[in-house]
């Protein structure tokens, strides 16, 4: 041993070491072996156990081997094994075994069978020999000894350096020992991929591990269970806190138990290759704990369950999702039948998360298990109908017509894994998903039965289990996917908290260096008592005017640039980057312009900035797009920003979330942030990067208190103050039903027609006629306040109904009928004429003084007790895009992409919206309002075509398709014409 401490110390250390060995041999069925008598230094194997395992479990193959190789049999096996370990990582060799001429195959490990139906497989699994050896002198070059090595069938899988607090040594000393005295060069036991799979540093309280020893560069990761919402391990009565390694605890098998260790080797450990680099992935504790607990629960309860996995950013969610998907499709029930036919991974990122795709495909041990739906919803439909085992897709694809053609899936079980479970789970596409996976041919002709079937499809389904992953669950997410605990409230099924991730060093605490600035401005009105300055709306306009004023922007730009140069630029060896978050697209562009101006004026040649915003902006008579501003296509931005050429990125909404740039060290906030948005925006900063130890936030709009309040609910386990009162749905229903505009018999008449399905144009006209009776009564009412209240009531009812129907099986046909009816009614009610905002100009107001003062400086970090609960749902906002319009848009995008092999997203097509808005001037609106469609359609089409050519100057692909494909052009033009017409007529 290379310890420098006394014999007494070594003895003390041995006490803990002996205890671990005693538990492994007594409780976990290990055999204790001795070094050097049982250890072959040259091969880094316990050869005697290896041969014992092969001879007892595969006697026929061994006989064949001896017949062929006679006295050389053992030497030949060692030669083949040595070769196999040089070519493949240890875990792969254990999984795949070895082959020798003439066609002799040896398994080196037998994994647990999916079910107990075949007793032979179970017997072989039990025949694996687990062993442990103490003080292993592993080197032919020196006398170094490793405290403990564990083996499976004579092949080493883990090394442990064990420290005892009583000797004044801890886990950090063990890590240091690996770095300084355990050089892997020329040592088969310590060589990456060839030797033991994992190297662990252990004391009585903590465990850390690595899969690659690289002397001083070795990186250890914590392997702890978490303690009271933070890092570390909980107390274990009468044992060490790290007892979970070697002892079964209530409801939890030991990490080194036969069951867990072989599961890790057989199904978790994974060699990841990217960019020419290799990494051996050994799951972190919370990853394999979540997967194993999920599978165990699914095995005992079957399909139809909900799971909410609250795992912080930086927790390796992509891997956890990949492991879950691969293992859940191999789950079998007691009769050896698969529990789930298909796992569907749903992500709401429109460009499917490449990392997620690669990770999941990388885990596939059989070709063709994973279907990535990069293309159209037709591909998704085919994948479902053909019974693909794992499908990765976006939620949007479920909202399309193709998916409506699917039926007969009700007899299959699906595990739907949701990446970032947020509000996308309540929309039309989420309903489309449930429909596609449950729809069977209708059996009853009775309207009441049909309505109830519709309603049932919204709620919990016995053939679908939802596994929702998120770092920041909203109240809706908790209620939809959480498990009801003993306190009667919903909780996450599994938790890895933000606090634990920060304390374990997987993410940085973005609140640690916080500085606020307060802006003071004085405005002089040039027009006294102007009504334009009265009321709340006016105040907002005045504030906007002030915030866009060049004086205000210039002062902030100076603070930002000088702060960046003084504090940020030198971080990460000069590679540090920053983001400026502004309140609107116009703010983003103007900030970027003034920033460039200031940089140029100061001659700072080492600074360059980019700007990100969607669509076109008309500023001071010039039309800007992100591409014209930066000088390259939008899609290039993440790649360009990653280079050393650019340091600062100015954004509004875009890139505020879902943008991974680990070199971001500072954020300058020029926008009000609250709740989840604040957490997600600042989380852009929390990624770790070599040399990144701190972050900076300069905030011009929020206080430290605001930020603490936003982060508090998500710092540890997210909890609800109380459960939402679902009976509110009846309060809303009562208010709508008793309104003077609504007649119940009309709702019933509408439902009789509507729920028969397959509506013809004639049917639709009839339905509209029925609904228009209520519209007529609404229009006769002169009480504008009452009308507005009714409008909001309809929106509230629709949103809350969808939520309630997802959470419980309502079995109330009237609510479903009212929902269908009010969906049409909302669309047909006349739109309000909103008076145009009066824009404030320099001749109305004058910014006479502007001062920027430093406010609070310091840490806004939360302490363990500073958590908060989320409120239940009591208010409901409105949704801007109607279901009809969504569907039509999805179809167009799809056919565009199908015909041209493109990958345009919804965002791309919303640029057409702006073209429509631009051409819908007063004349065009007037013309559409007063003339039949066929008269005005031609005029609109011509204007629309010219608008497209102008708008897509930077986007050759879209423009060329639009100009050369008459069918695609006609389809898009028709959609936007119908929409424009509906708006023109106030429908």
Give domain 514-613+645-715's CATH superfamily: P-loop containing nucleotide triphosphate hydrolases (3.40.50.300)
Neighbours of 776 (CB within 10 A): 10
Q: CA-to-CA distance for 188 and 93, rounded, in angstroms?
A: 15
Phi, psi torsion values for 819, nearest 5 degrees: -65, -45
Whose tokens are 């509507």? That residue is 754
Q: CA-to-CA distance for 149 and 39, rounded, in angstroms?
A: 11
Give every strand in the sheet of 648-651, ordered side by side: 609-612, 648-651, 577-582, 664-670, 696-699, 514-525, 845-858
Say if CB 517 and CB 850 are below 8 A apart: no
- Whether residue 718 has pLDDT greater than 70: yes
Neighbours of 387 (CB within 10 A): 10
Cα–chain center distance at 268 = 20
Say if CB 167 and CB 12 are below 8 A apart: yes
> Does the reported pTM lie above 0.85?
no
pLDDT given at position 273: 82
Phi, psi torsion values for 611, nearest 5 degrees: -130, 145
The band of 220, judged by pLDDT with boundaries at 50, 70 and 90, is very high
Enter the DSSP assignment of 834.
P
Whose tokens are 């690289």? That residue is 214
Q: Which top CATH class is 285-496? A: alpha beta
What's the token pair of residue 465? 């289990």
CB crowding 183-206: b at 16 or more within 10 Å, else e: bbeebbbbbebbbbbbbbbbbbbb
- Whether residue 423 has pLDDT greater than 50: no
Say if CB 902 and CB 918 are below 8 A apart: no
Q: What separation, in Å, do the N-terminal and C-terminal C-alpha atoms of the chain show?
A: 83
Q: CA-to-CA distance for 543 and 548, rounded, in angstroms?
A: 9
Bond preceding residue 376 cis, omega within 30 of 0: no
3-state SS record for 505-556: CCCCCCCCCEEEEEEEEEEEECCCCCHHHCHHHHHHHHHHHHHHCHHHHHHH
Q: Determine which of 224-238, 329-343, 379-393, 917-931 has the lowest per-residue pLDDT on average.
A: 917-931
Residue ranges of alpha helices (H) inside 564-623 are 571-574, 585-602
| DSSP bridge partners of 106 | 98
* Helix (H), strand (E) at residue 855: strand 845-858
Question: What residue ranges do the domains of the chain occupy?
Answer: 7-224+233-267, 285-496, 514-613+645-715, 728-828, 883-984
CA distances to 249, 396, 439, 852 from 377, rounded to whole Å, are: 47, 9, 17, 52
The band of 540, judged by pLDDT with boundaries at 50, 70 and 90, is low
Nearest to 595 by CA among 633, 550, 631: 550
Higher-confidence position of 349 and 36? 36
Nearest to 964 by CA among 892, 899, 915: 899
The band of 870, judged by pLDDT with boundaries at 50, 70 and 90, is confident
**pLDDT tens-digit readout, 878-930:** 334 556 666 677 777 777 777 666 677 766 776 777 788 778 877 788 778 77
Bond preceding residue 36 cis, omega within 30 of 0: yes
Identical topology for domains 285-496 and 514-613+645-715: yes
* Helix (H), strand (E) at residue 347: strand 342-347
| DSSP bridge partners of 110 | none
Strand pairing category for 494-496 and 306-311: parallel
Q: Which of 124-138, 612-626, 803-817, 879-893 has the highest mean pLDDT?
A: 124-138
pLDDT given at position 741: 93
608, exposed or middle or buried, with CB in 10 Å at 0-12, 13-18, 19+? middle
Helices 585-602/535-548 angle, 10° precision:
20
What residues contact 739, with CB distance under 8 A and at least 6 apart?
A: 790, 793
Q: Determine which of 28-32, 230-234, 368-372, 695-699 has the lowest per-residue pLDDT on average.
A: 368-372
Angle at CA of residue 292, ends 263 and 311, nearest 5°: 125
Dihedral, CA atoms, 622, 625, 627, 629, nearest 10 degrees? Answer: 50
- Whether residue 846 has pLDDT greater than 90: no
pLDDT given at position 615: 86
Strand, helix or coil for residue 695: coil
Neighbours of 392 (CB within 10 A): 27
Reported as half-sphere exposure (CB side, CA atoms, 13 A), residue 254 has a value of 19
Nearest to 370 by CA among 385, 352, 384, 357: 357
- Whether residue 431 has pLDDT greater than 50: yes
- Whether residue 5 has pLDDT greater than 50: no
pLDDT given at position 349: 57
**pLDDT tens-digit readout, 554-612:** 999 999 999 999 999 999 999 999 999 998 899 999 999 999 999 999 999 999 999 99
pLDDT given at position 436: 78
Angle at CA of residue 669, ends 585 and 873, nearest 5°: 85
Enter the DSSP assignment of 230.
B
Q: Which of 115-124, 842-851, 932-941 has the highest mean pLDDT?
A: 115-124
Q: CA-to-CA distance for 468 and 222, rounded, in angstroms?
A: 25
Strand pairing category for 845-858 and 514-525: antiparallel
Q: CA-to-CA distance for 561 and 569, rounded, in angstroms?
A: 10
**pLDDT tens-digit readout, 13-41:** 788 999 999 999 999 999 999 988 999 99
Strand pairing category for 483-484 and 342-347: unpaired
Render 144-202 in DSSP notation, one character per residue.
-EEEEEEEETTEEEEEEEE--GGGT--HHHHHHHHHHH---TT-TTTSTTTS-SEEEEE
Strand pairing category for 342-347 and 414-419: parallel
**pLDDT tens-digit readout, 763-781:** 889 999 999 999 999 999 8
pLDDT given at position 891: 74
pLDDT given at position 987: 44
The band of 525, judged by pLDDT with boundaries at 50, 70 and 90, is low
Mean pLDDT across the stretch 515-529? 69
Q: CA-to-CA distance for 572 and 565, rounded, in angstroms?
A: 13
Nearest to 509 by CA among 703, 682, 660, 677: 682
Q: CA-to-CA distance for 66 and 64, rounded, in angstroms?
A: 6
Say if CB 592 and CB 635 are below 8 A apart: no
Say if CB 926 and CB 940 are below 8 A apart: no
Helices 956-964/966-984 angle, 10° precision:
100
The dihedral of CA 153, 154, 159, 165: what is its sign? Answer: positive
Dihedral, CA atoms, 381, 382, 384, 388, nearest 10 degrees? Answer: -150
Q: CA-to-CA distance for 504 and 893, rounded, in angstroms?
A: 44
- Number of helices followed by number of strands (H, E) in the chain: 36, 29
* Helix (H), strand (E) at residue 279: strand 277-281
What residues contact 501, with CB distance under 8 A and at least 6 apart?
A: 312, 313, 314, 315, 507
Angle at CA of residue 819, ends 813 and 820, nearest 5°: 95
pLDDT given at position 564: 95
What residues contact 401, with CB distance under 8 A and at least 6 apart?
A: 377, 887, 891
Nearest to 875 by CA among 803, 819, 820, 822: 803
Q: CA-to-CA distance for 587 and 668, rounded, in angstroms?
A: 13
The per-residue pLDDT of the chain, averaged, comes to: 85
Bond preceding residue 979 cis, omega within 30 of 0: no
pLDDT given at position 156: 97
Enter the DSSP assignment of 346.
E
């Amino acid at each position: 041993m290379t310890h420098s401490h006394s014999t007494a110390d070594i003895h003390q250390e041995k006490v803990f070491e002996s205890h671990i060995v005693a538990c492994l041999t007594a409780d976990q069925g290990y055999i204790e072996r001795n070094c050097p008598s049982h250890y072959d230094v040259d091969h880094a194997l316990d050869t005697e156990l290896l041969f014992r395992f092969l001879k007892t479990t595969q006697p026929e193959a061994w006989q064949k081997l001896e017949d062929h190789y006679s006295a050389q049999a053992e030497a030949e096996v060692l030669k083949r094994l040595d070769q196999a370990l040089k070519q493949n990582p240890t875990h792969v060799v254990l999984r795949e075994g070895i082959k020798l001429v003439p066609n002799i195959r040896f398994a080196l490990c037998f994994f647990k069978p999916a079910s107990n139906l075949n007793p032979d497989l179970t017997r072989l699994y039990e025949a694996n020999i687990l062993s442990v050896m103490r003080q292993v002198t592993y080197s032919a070059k020196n006398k170094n000894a490793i405290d403990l090595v564990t083996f499976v069938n004579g092949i080493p899988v883990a090394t442990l350096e064990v420290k005892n607090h009583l000797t004044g040594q801890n886990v950090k000393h063990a890590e240091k020992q690996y770095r300084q005295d355990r050089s892997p060069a020329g040592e088969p036991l310590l060589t990456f991929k060839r030797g033991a799979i994992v190297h662990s540093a252990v004391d009585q309280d903590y465990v850390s591990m690595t899969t690659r020893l690289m002397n001083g560069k070795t990186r250890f990761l914590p392997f702890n269970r978490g303690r009271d919402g933070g890092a570390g391990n909980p107390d274990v009565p009468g044992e060490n806190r790290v007892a979970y390694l070697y002892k079964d605890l209530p409801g939890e098998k030991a990490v080194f138990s036969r069951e867990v260790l072989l599961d890790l080797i057989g199904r978790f450990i994974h060699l990841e290759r990217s960019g020419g680099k290799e990494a051996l992935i050994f799951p972190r504790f919370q990853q394999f704990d979540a997967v194993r607990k999920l599978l165990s629960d699914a095995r005992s309860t079957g399909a139809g369950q909900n799971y909410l996995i609250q795992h912080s950013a930086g927790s390796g969610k992509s891997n956890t999702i990949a492991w879950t998907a691969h293992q859940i499709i191999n789950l079998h029930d007691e009769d050896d039948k698969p529990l789930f036919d298909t796992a569907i991974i749903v992500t709401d990122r429109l460009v499917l998360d490449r990392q997620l795709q690669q990770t999941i495909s990388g885990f596939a041990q059989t070709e063709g298990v994973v279907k990535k739906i990069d293309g159209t919803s037709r591909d998704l439909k085919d994948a479902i109908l053909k019974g693909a085992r794992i499908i990765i897709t976006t939620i949007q694809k479920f909202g399309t017509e193709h998916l409506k053609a699917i039926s007969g899936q009700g007899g299959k079980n699906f595990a739907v894994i949701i990446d970032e479970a947020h509000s996308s789970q309540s929309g039309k596409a989420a309903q489309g998903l449930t429909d596609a996976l449950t729809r069977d041919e209708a059996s009853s002709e009775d309207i009441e039965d049909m309505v109830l079937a519709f309603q049932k499809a919204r709620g919990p389904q016995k053939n679908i289990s939802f596994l929702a992953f998120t770092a920041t669950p909203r109240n809706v997410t908790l209620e939809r996917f959480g498990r009801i605990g003993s306190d009667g409230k919903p909780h996450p099924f599994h938790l890895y908290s933000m606090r634990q991730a920060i304390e374990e060093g997987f993410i940085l605490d973005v609140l640690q260096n916080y500085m606020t600035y307060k802006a003071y401005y004085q405005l002089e009105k040039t027009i006294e008592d102007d009504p334009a300055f009265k009321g709340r709306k006016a105040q907002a306009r005045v504030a906007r005017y002030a915030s866009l004023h060049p004086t205000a922007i210039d002062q902030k730009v100076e603070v930002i640039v000088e702060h960046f140069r003084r504090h940020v630029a030198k971080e990460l060896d000069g590679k540090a980057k920053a983001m400026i978050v502004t309140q609107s697209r116009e703010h983003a562009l103007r900030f970027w312009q003034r920033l460039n101006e200031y940089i140029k004026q100061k001659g700072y040649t080492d600074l360059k900035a980019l700007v990100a915003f969607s669509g076109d902006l008309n500023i001071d008579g010039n039309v800007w797009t992100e591409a014209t501003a930066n000088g390259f296509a939008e899609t290039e931005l993440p790649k360009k920003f990653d280079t050393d050429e650019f340091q600062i990125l100015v954004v509004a909404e875009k890139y505020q979330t879902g943008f991974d740039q680990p070199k971001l060290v500072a954020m300058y906030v020029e926008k009000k942030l609250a709740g989840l948005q604040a957490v997600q925006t600042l989380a852009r900063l929390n990624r770790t990067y070599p040399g990144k130890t701190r972050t900076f936030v300069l905030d011009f709009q929020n206080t430290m208190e605001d930020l603490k309040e936003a982060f508090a609910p998500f710092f540890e386990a997210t909890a609800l103050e109380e459960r939402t009162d679902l009976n509110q749905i009846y309060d809303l229903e009562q208010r709508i039903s008793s309104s003077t505009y609504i007649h119940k018999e009309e709702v019933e008449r509408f439902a009789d027609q509507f729920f028969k399905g397959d509506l013809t144009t004639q049917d639709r006209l009839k339905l509209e006629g029925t609904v228009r009776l209520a519209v007529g009564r609404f229009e006769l009412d002169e009480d504008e306040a009452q009308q507005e209240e009714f409008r909001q009531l309809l929106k509230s009812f629709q949103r809350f109904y969808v939520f309630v129907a997802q959470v419980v099986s309502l079995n109330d046909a009237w609510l479903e009928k009212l929902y269908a009816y009010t969906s049409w009614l909302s669309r047909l009610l006349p739109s309000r004429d909103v008076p145009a905002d009066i824009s404030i100009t320099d001749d109305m107001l004058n910014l006479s003084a502007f001062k920027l003062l430093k406010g609070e400086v310091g840490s806004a970090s939360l302490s363990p007790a500073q958590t908060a609960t989320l409120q239940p749902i009591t208010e409901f906002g409105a949704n801007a895009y109607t279901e009809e319009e969504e569907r039509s848009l999805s179809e167009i995008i799809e056919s565009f992409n199908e015909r041209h092999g493109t990958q345009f997203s919804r965002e791309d097509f919303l640029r057409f919206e702006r073209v429509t808005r631009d051409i819908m001037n007063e004349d065009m609106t007037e013309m559409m309002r007063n003339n039949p469609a066929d008269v005005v359609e031609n005029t609109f089409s011509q204007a629309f075509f010219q608008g497209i050519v102008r708008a897509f100057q930077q986007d050759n692909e879209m423009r060329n398709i639009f100009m050369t494909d008459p069918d695609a052009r006609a389809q898009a033009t028709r959609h936007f014409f119908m929409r424009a017409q509906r708006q023109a007529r106030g429908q």
